[in-house]
Chain A
C-alpha cells in the first residue's frame, strides 16, 4: 500500500485508486462533480483540484485534478494550499455564471450537491452581472422533469444514461457554453432506469416529476429503511413521507444488491399507496352485495365468530411478508394452508427451492454477477422481470474492457480511456429467448427459439460441456465460450412458466462445476416474496402441494377461508376460483387496494402497505431483508401480521396468542423451518439502541412537527411511539454508525445531498460501515441438482401459435400499475408478433388482432418485434385484460377489422401547456 502525504499528513492508501478517492476515504472533504463511484473519472468538471508537489523541497507545486491522478508512493499533495482553494472556488464561480440560482423553486434544493459544493469551496459573492443562458426544457415523460438552465455540464447524466445504463435517447448536444442534455425531440425517456438521473444529476436538471407535484424538502421527509416490493430482486429503498402521503422513493445503498441505482418501477411504482383505491375501513358484505364499514374490533369479532373452532383454510401470498404468511399458516394449520401461487408457478418454485438447496453453483448477488465474464441467459427478458439485475449484467459485459485496460496498465476508473480502448468489445453474453429482450443490444449472440427448444438448447450445452459433440454448432460454440470463462453465469427464471428451461439452466451450471469451473446460477422469480413463501411451505418432498383450485373444490366443506393480500384472478384457474366464492363458506380477505377478490369476499380488512408496516422479504438471491414502516397506517388500516395476531388472539389460538411483538413473530417463524433459521439475523431487534438512542426517521431539521397537521386539528398530537422496531417517529436519535439494515436516510454535516453516502461507506464504493443488510437463508448441500430432460414435441395445427409472455417493467406488476404515471407508460394490453407474420396477417403496429384461445376471443393491439422464434407470438403478461392468456397456450390470429384506434389519453402527465 503506497503512502502519500496530504498537507504533510501521511496516509496509507490502496494501490490503484485516485487521489480523490484517497481523500474521501480519509474523511477529507474534497469537492467534486463529475466523478461518480460507480462511473469513474473523466476529469471534466475541474472541481477536485489540489496541489501536487515534486518532493519535500518543492513549495510551489502544480494544480492537478484529484480524480485523474493515481496514487503513487511518496506523492505529496495539498488540499489546503491557497491556490488550490482559489482554483476550486473559481470553478464554482464559473459554473454559477449560468446557473439560475433558483433554489427556492427547485426540486433539488436542500439535497443539492451543487449547493453543498458551493458552500464547501467558500464561494459567496457573485461578481457576474451579465445575462445568463436560457434553454428550452423538454417533455421527457411522466417520470422525469427537465430544467436545463440549472445544468453545470458535468456530463454525469449522459455518462449514466448511455454508458452505464445503455440508453440511446439522451445525449449531450452542442458545445461550449450552450451544451444541452436531452433528447432529439420531446418524448418519453425509453430507458427502464431513467429515474436514476434524479440522483445522478448533482443539481436540479433532472428531478422526480411525481414528487414535484406534492413536493416536500428532503429535511421535511420522514424516512425508513425499506425493501422494494416491485419484483424479486430485493433492492434497498428509502421511501420518504410527509402529511401521511408517500412522497418519493430514493435509492438506499446496498453494496451487494442495488448499489446506487434502482429501476423505474422501484422508484416510481409506489404511487398506488396514495391511491383512492386504498381501503380505509373494514367492511362486511351486505345481502345486496355492497359493503358496510365497521370498526376494527367489530370486524375482528365477526371474523372470530366465523373461524373459531371451525374448519378454516388460508391462502397466502407471494407479495405479502414472510411473517404474515407464517401467521396465517399457523392460524389455519399447515394442512389447510395454500401458498397462493398458480399451480404451474408452485411446481416451478418448488423445483427452484430444491435446486437452491442442492446445487453446486453459487446463487450470486448483483455485485457478484457484475464479475461474470461469460453469461448464458435462457428464456428470460431480465430487464423486464428482474430489472436491476439487467443493469448489473450491462456492467458484466464490460469485463472484457477492464481486461484490455489491465493489459495497458489503465486503472478501471479511467472511464473515458477504458471505453475508448474497448469500443464495442464486450465479454460474451448469449441470450436464448423466444423474442426480443432489452439486453439484445449488448449480447454477443441472440438465439430465438420456442420454449421447449430453449430447454433442449440448454441441455445440449450441458452435454457439449461434458465433452459430447452436438449436432447444433451453436450449442457447441456456447459450451466453448462458457468453458473458456473464469466465472461463467447462467440465468433463467419463472417468467416463461416452463420447468424444462429452468432445469436445463441448472444442468448447464452443474456441468460447469463438474468441468471444474466455479459457476454461478441465478434464477429469477416473479414476486417480492415468491422465494420466501416457497421456502415457508417447502417440506422437502412433495412438489405438488395444496393448490388454490383444490381448495376451491372443497370450499363447500369449509366454514371459512382467509385470503392474505392475494388477487386470485391472477393465479389462473378462474373457473375453480369462482366455486370458492360461490360456496357457502365465509371468505375473509385482507389487502391494500380494492380488487376482484375483495369484492367477492364476505369480510374485507384494510391492510397496510409496505410503507406502513414491517416484514421480511426473500429475494431470488435467497437474501432475506427487512422493511420498516415509514409512517403509521392511517384510518383503520393495520399491517396484515397484526390483523392475523388479533384473529389468533380472538380464537384463543394458544401459541399465537402469546405473540405481541414483531420480533417474537420473526423468532417463531425462524423456528418453524430449518431453512428460515437465519431470519433472526436479518435486522437488529426492537431493543437495539445506537449509543443509547433509537434511530430517528426524521432529520434533525424536520420542520413544523407541531403545526403540520393544524389544518386537521389544532391540538398538538403526541408523536406516535414505535414499540416494534429500533426506529423512532422522531427527530431525536442518532443516524450514524448503525447497522446497514437500519439506515433511514443519508446525511452528514456539509453533505446534504445523496453524495453524503460516502460518509456511511467503509470505503468509497465499498460496503457500508454497518455491514450489508439482510441474511442469506439458503445454504446448499452441494450435492448437485441435475434434473433429467423431459423431451416435449409440440403438436401445432396450421395457423396455430404458441403464446409467450412478454413482461414489461411498467404494466406487468399488479401493484405499481395502480400508479397514474405507471399506467400511462404501460399502455394498453398487446399481442407481439414478428414482421413476417404481421405482413401475412396484413397488420401494422397499432392495428388490432383477434386472438382466439379455446373459445375465448381477445382483441389486442399489435406490437411488432424484431426477433421472434418460429410459431411464437407474445402477449402482455400481467396486464389485467390478458390474465386469461397463459404461456404455452395455442391461439389463432386474424386481423380485427372492427378495431377501433384509441385516441391518445392523458392521464398523469402535464404534457402541453403547463410545465410544472
Chain B
C-alpha cells in the first residue's frame, strides 16, 4: 500500500458511527451537502473538543467539499477550534457593557490565576481562555462562559472561588 492509498483509507475511518449518524440527520434538512458544513463541524467538535486537520479532511470528503472550502468555514467562526483546547473553554466577554463594568482587571486576574493569556491553554489542559464579543447577558455584566456554564457579575473574588484549586497550586499569584 502506498501513501495515497493509506491517506484515502484513513479519512474514511476518522469519523465515528455516531458522528456520521448525526451528520446524516443534518444532511436531511439541507438542499446541498455543503449546507451542513457548520453543523458537521459542531457535531465533531462536541465529541472531540476541537477540529483536527484529519477531522476537517474527513468531514470535507463526507460532504463532497474540498478541504479548502471547509477550512474557509472552519476558520471563519471563532467557536470552531482548529487547535486543541482545554477541557473547558473560558469565553471571556470583552465587549462594551462588560468593559464599562471593569472586565479588564478581571481578565488580568484570570491571567494571573491560571497563568494563561488569550488563546492559551493551562498546562494541566483544564482551561483555554478566549475573548468573545458579547454573550447576550449585558444586564449581568461582566460575564463569561466556563465550559457550558454562564458566569455572571464576575469579580475577583468569584474568580478565586471558581479557580480555587488553581489559586492554591500556583502559589505566588495570590
Contacts and interface: CB of A to CB of B under 8 A. Distances in A.
A440 interface: no
Interface stretch (A120-128, A172-180, A542-550): A172-180
A8 interface: no
A846 B2 contact: yes
B17 interface: no
Contacts of B32: 423-424
Contacts of A171: 66, 68-69, 71-72
Contacts of B71: 171, 173, 184
A168 interface: yes
Interface string B76-101: 10100000000000000000000000
A184 B76 contact: no
A174 B75 contact: yes
Interface in A558-611: none
Interface in B19-65: 31-32, 53, 56-57
A173 B70 CA distance: 9
B138 interface: no
Given A169-B68, A171-B69, A844 B5 contact: yes
B132 interface: no
A174 B76 contact: yes
A172 B72 contact: yes
B157 interface: no
A173 B32 CA distance: 21
Interface of A, helix, strand, loop or mixed by DSSP: loop
A844 B69 contact: no
Nearest to B2: A846
A184 B5 contact: no
Interface size class of B (residues with CB under 8 A): 20 to 34
Contacts of B57: 184
Interface string B1-12: 111110000000
B134 interface: no
Interface of B, helix, strand, loop or mixed by DSSP: helix
Given A423-B32, A424-B32, A170 B4 contact: no
Interface in A183-220: 183-185
B75 to A, nearest CB: 4
Interface in B93-129: none
Contact of B68 (A184, A846, A901): A184
Contact of A846 (B4, B31, B67, B72): B4
A164 to B, nearest CB: 16
Contact of A168 (B53, B66, B75, B78): B66
A86 interface: no
B11 to A, nearest CB: 13
A763 interface: no
A828 to B, nearest CB: 14
Nearest to A845: B4
Most buried by A among B3, B31, B32, B76: B76
B58 to A, nearest CB: 13
Contact of B56 (A169, A172, A184, A846): A184
A169 B65 CA distance: 10
Contacts of A423: 31-32
A658 to B, nearest CB: 62
Interface in A816-857: 844-847
B8 to A, nearest CB: 9
Nearest to B53: A185
Contacts of B31: 423
A423 B33 CA distance: 12
A171 B76 CA distance: 11
B2 A168 contact: no
B71 to A, nearest CB: 5
A172 B3 CA distance: 28
B76 A844 contact: no
A109 to B, nearest CB: 29
Contacts of B4: 844-846
Given A184-B71, A424-B32, A173 B76 contact: yes
10 contacts: A168-B68, A169-B67, A169-B68, A173-B72, A183-B68, A184-B56, A184-B57, A185-B67, A844-B2, A846-B2
Interface of A: 168-175, 180, 183-185, 423-424, 844-847, 901
Given A172-B72, A423-B32, 8 more contacts: A169-B67, A170-B68, A171-B72, A173-B75, A174-B75, A184-B56, A844-B2, A845-B2
Interface of B: 1-5, 31-32, 53, 56-57, 66-72, 75-76, 78
